[in-house]
Structure 1
Amino acid sequence: MKAAILSPVAWRTPPRHYGPWEQVASNIAEGLIKLGVDVTLFATGDSVTAGKLDAICEQGYEEDRTQDAKVLECLHISNLMEKAGEFDIIHNNFDFLPLTYTGLIETPVITTIHGFSSQRIIPVYKKYNSRGHYVSISNADRSPELNYLATVYNGLDTADFKFTEQPGNYLLYFGRIHHDKGAAEAIEIAKKAGKQLLIAGIIQDENYWKEKVEPHLSDQVVYLGPAGPEKRNELLGNALALLHPINFAEPFGMSVAEAMLCGTPVIAFNKGSMPELIQHERTGFLVNSTDEAVTAVNDVSRINRNYCREWASANFSKEKMADDYYRLYQQILSV
């Protein structure tokens, strides 16, 4: 089987720091290669893969801001679609834009919907409902207007995450500095619980940072900047708990799975996919307010960190994700 994996071109695949869609595309590609699939990864030229790499740019537009994002996207997607006949199947990890080519090519396209930036993009998905082969990344993140082939949870390379049995005494916020991710709520929880909070992630909303986060920085609330793979392991593994007080219906939440792979329980607002990722009172706590989160912080020592690791390994591994997608590829190609 010859498969083309289409990754975004905002960041390198896999990303150096931030880039969740690029990370998943990388894990799919590398997992399929181990299953014997002939994979070509369409990504930035500095991307890393054990398969073939096809690129129209050396760096992503977020890492080289001299490039125009829309131009790069058009060149990138058209590069693959003009070679569609070389592949048995195309796996789209690039949102809705590649769908507009699917009526012009014979090669089937399976699309992982990594989330909806807005309801305004639904009409494109609806147009290609009959031929889209859509996959959701959680049951929570589904539109009633679309037809789905399956749900496949995002998978991580479990070997990248070191289990830590004895954590430190700090809480961790790990993600974009943005209202959606709840950095301000994490600060409030940590202060009420009397715990130190370490914050790691890119500043995505400057105004939010200046108004809601920066004024609270102190010995108790420490901003560390973005964290790469080495620092991520140390931060997640040594945390007493990951705080994930999201203000939106999150489609998946990579840091939640990453924390549990390190043995670290997660305290999250009960929204979006969180009930699918977290087993309440077994791998963390699903709460509805900052006060409930503070109570959970006090109860977090009851959580078995070994079980957190086992749960995440069984449900959110790269191997399971690749197996699930491989079966879907076979299902599509056998029709």
Structure 2
Amino acid sequence: MRIALLAHLRHPIAPPFAGGLESYTWHLAEGLSTRGHDVVLFASGDSDPRFARDPVIPVHQEARFPGLEHRGDAGLRAHLDGGYAAACDGIAAGGFDVLHNNSLSRLPLEPRRLAATPTVTSLHVPPYDALRWFVHASAVPGHRITATSAALLRDWWPEGPPPGASVLHNGIDPAAWPFVAQGDGSAVWCARLAAVKGAHHAIAAARRAGLALTLFGPIEEPDYWAERIAPSLGGAIRYGGHLAGPDLAAEIGRASVFLFTPCWDEPFGLAAVEAMACGLPVAGFARGAAAEVVGEAGRLVRCGDDDALAASLGEALAIPRTVPRARVLRLFTRDLWLDRCEALYAQHLIPSET
């Protein structure tokens, strides 16, 4: 198939990944290409050059409009709309069999654009006012809509999803997150260092439980870092930086438990799945899709309760490391995910072939 992948533009689609959405899009491009599809990545121009790219904007938005995401900035909005409009026009004229839309833009959802190119739209964020109406209005025959979890699908359609909307769990390559039979007794946390990811709760719980903790991830909110995280570092609490691929997998694999502390309705929880693949049980907050992802591989408590989170660390540590690994292999592998993506694309092609 000839497949267009339309990305979110806040960060480049390149490792080390700024977050789960960037990782998702990169691995989708890599996986589909490996399976022999003709893939073109529509993303920022500073995304990974190993892919065939069609730049939507020259550089990712944070490079030109730092810190303005969700601020309603008119300049940023015009910049993104101009890029996405041109990209959608290029996709419509490009002879693609299908567009997999992973952007957070309303423009690919316009009726004339859905009519021009068979489209699969994957939802990666909870519903918010700037996008909600456009997604709901786009739920028309022929437009396939996916959510990364059943919890996220319920958030978008509390009364039940429309036809053509379904769950598409993320998947990882288990070989990239090797199983380690025994940890060193420490805890690990990995995500964007932003308030909604709750690293300050992980620090508080680790201290109460008497565990060493290492934090990994990009510093997305400098004020949050300076006020809530940096003053807490030292001794058993350390920051390990923002690592890519094998280096991050090695650091996570040597720990004994993963702290997962979303302070928003987490749409999936890719970092938790990666840690589970290494054999780490999870202690965390029951927000969003956390229970759906973690299941029997961890212990979850009410969001914001640091004492309960500290207690859950001991309970999680008692879970055999084979349990989280087995859950990943059963539910969240890259091959399962890519199989489901290809099946969604094929649903668009069947009418034209019969």
TM-score (normalizing by structure 2): 0.85
**Deviation (angstroms), 1:221:** 1.6
2:128 corresponds to 1:123: no
Name the residue aligned to 2:8: 8
Question: For the Cα contact (< 8 Å) 1:30–1:49, is it kept in 2?
Answer: no
CA distance in 1, matches of 2:58, 2:184: 40
2:248 corresponds to 1:235: no
State the SS of the aligned residue for 1:334. Answer: helix
Q: Match for 1:137: what amino acid?
A: T
CA distance in 2, matches of 1:302, 1:170: 14
CA distance in 2, matches of 1:314, 1:326: 19
Gaps of 5+ in 2: 67-74
**Deviation (angstroms), 1:53:** 2.4
**Deviation (angstroms), 1:57:** 4.6
2:104 corresponds to 1:95: yes
Name the residue aligned to 2:89: 82
Cα pair distance change 1:102/1:158, threshold 3 Å? farther
Could you report, residue by residue, the CA deviation over 1:34-86 in whole angstroms, capped at 9, with x for unpaired residues?
333222221233434765322255532334669x7545533442343223241
State the SS of the aligned residue for 1:247. Answer: coil
**Deviation (angstroms), 1:136:** 0.5
CA distance in 2, matches of 1:290, 1:15: 32
State the SS of the aligned residue for 1:103. Answer: helix
Question: For the Cα contact (< 8 Å) 1:99–1:128, is it kept in 2?
Answer: no
CA distance in 2, matches of 1:190, 1:165: 22
Name the residue aligned to 1:269: 285
225-234 or 253-262, which deviates more: 225-234
2:214 corresponds to 1:194: no
State the SS of the aligned residue for 2:152. Answer: coil
CA distance in 2, matches of 1:112, 1:175: 21
CA RMSD across the alignment: 2.5
**Deviation (angstroms), 1:252:** 0.5
Name the residue aligned to 2:70: none
Which of 307, 317, 321 is matched with 2:333 structurally? Answer: 317
Q: Match for 1:30: what amino acid?
A: E
Which of 215, 235, 244 is matched with 2:260 structurally? Answer: 244
Q: Match for 2:42: what amino acid?
A: F
Cα pair distance change 1:266/1:113, threshold 3 Å? same
TM-score (normalizing by structure 1): 0.89
250-259 or 68-77, which deviates more: 68-77
**Deviation (angstroms), 1:324:** 0.3
State the SS of the aligned residue for 1:213. Answer: helix
Could you report, residue by residue, the CA deviation over 1:256-313 in whole angstroms, capped at 9, with x for unpaired residues?
0110111111111112101111123xx1112223223222222333222123222213
Cα pair distance change 1:321/1:52, threshold 3 Å? same
CA distance in 1, matches of 2:62, 2:21: 14
Q: Match for 1:122: what amino acid?
A: R
CA distance in 2, matches of 1:63, 1:155: 29
Name the residue aligned to 1:138: 149
243-252 or 176-185, which deviates more: 176-185
Could you report, residue by residue, the CA deviation over 1:85-111 in whole angstroms, capped at 9, with x for unpaired residues?
411111100024233444244211110
Question: For the Cα contact (< 8 Å) 2:126–2:265, is it kept in 1?
Answer: no
Aligned residues: 333
CA distance in 1, matches of 2:22, 2:62: 13
Q: What does 1:1-335 correspond to in 2, within 5 Å?
A: 1-48=1-48, 52-63=52-63, 69-70=76-77, 72-83=79-90, 84-85=92-93, 86-104=95-113, 105-116=115-126, 118-131=128-141, 132-142=143-153, 143-144=156-157, 147=162, 148-280=164-296, 283-288=297-302, 289-335=305-351
CA distance in 1, matches of 2:14, 2:223: 29
CA distance in 2, matches of 1:144, 1:65: 32
CA distance in 1, matches of 2:78, 2:9: 11
Cα pair distance change 1:65/1:228, threshold 3 Å? farther
Q: Which has the higher helix share?
A: 2
Runs of 4+ off more than 6 Å: none
CA distance in 2, matches of 1:51, 1:286: 39
239-248 or 125-134, which deviates more: 125-134
